[in-house]
């Protein structure tokens, strides 16, 4: 399996779609990262899980992401936040996979649990309740 440092050699970009976005509660985890820009991915569908969204690798009309350039430490911190398990990706809350963005290939965290019964977001952005 790949260590976070090796993962960075594949791409230093991360695409975020939920609470890591600017102005939301987990954005501080991206302190030290460089904002590259916004994009719309047609290779993912978001699901509104209440306090946060989850993405599945399913076609959409374009869900909004923010793309950041990160270093190995920030990626490792994000892996901990998202419960991504390098040695057993299917056993954590999120897996991650590379998706093409307008800025190049970027890691996207994909939600592992079942999303049955949760509203799908096929276009646009997830919005926190309240």
Show Cβ contacts of residue 107 under 8 Å, excluding neighbours closer than 6 positions. Answer: 7, 11, 13, 14, 15, 75, 96, 97, 98, 99
Q: pLDDT per residue over 30-84, tens digit each?
A: 999 999 999 999 999 999 999 999 999 999 999 999 999 999 999 999 999 999 9
Q: Which of 31, 58, 82, 123 is catalytic?
A: 82
Q: How far apart are CA 120 and CA 116, in angstroms?
A: 9
Distance between CA atoms of residues 109 and 47, nearest Å:
13
Helix/strand/coil percentages in the chain, nearest 5: 20, 35, 45
> Is residue 40 a part of any domain in this protein?
yes
Task: Report if residue 97 sits inside a domain.
Answer: yes
Indicate which CATH number applies to the domain containing 42: 3.10.490.10
Instruction: Specify if 20 maps to a domain.
Output: yes
Q: What is the pLDDT of residues 110-129, one digit of tens each?
A: 999 999 999 999 999 999 98
β-strand pairing of 120-121 with 45-48: antiparallel
- Number of separate domains in the chain: 1
52 within domain boundaries: yes
Active site residue 64: no
Backbone dihedral angles phi then psi of residue 87, each to the nearest 5 degrees: -85, -15
129 lies in some domain:
no
- Provide the domain limits for residue 115: 4-124
When comparing pLDDT for 71 and 10, which is higher?
71
């Amino acid at each position: 399996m790949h260590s976070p440092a090796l993962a960075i050699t594949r791409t230093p970009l991360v695409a975020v779609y939920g609470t890591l976005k600017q102005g939301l509660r987990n954005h501080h985890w991206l302190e030290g990262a460089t904002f590259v820009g916004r994009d719309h991915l047609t290779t993912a569908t978001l699901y509104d899980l209440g306090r946060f969204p989850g993405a599945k690798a399913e076609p959409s009309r374009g869900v909004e992401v923010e793309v950041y350039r990160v270093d190995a430490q920030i990626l490792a911190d994000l892996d901990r936040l998202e419960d991504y398990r390098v040695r057993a990706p299917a056993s954590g809350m999120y897996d991650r996979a590379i998706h093409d963005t307008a800025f190049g290939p970027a890691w996207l965290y994909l939600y592992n649990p079942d999303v049955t019964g949760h509203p799908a977001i096929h276009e646009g952005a997830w919005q926190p309740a309240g």
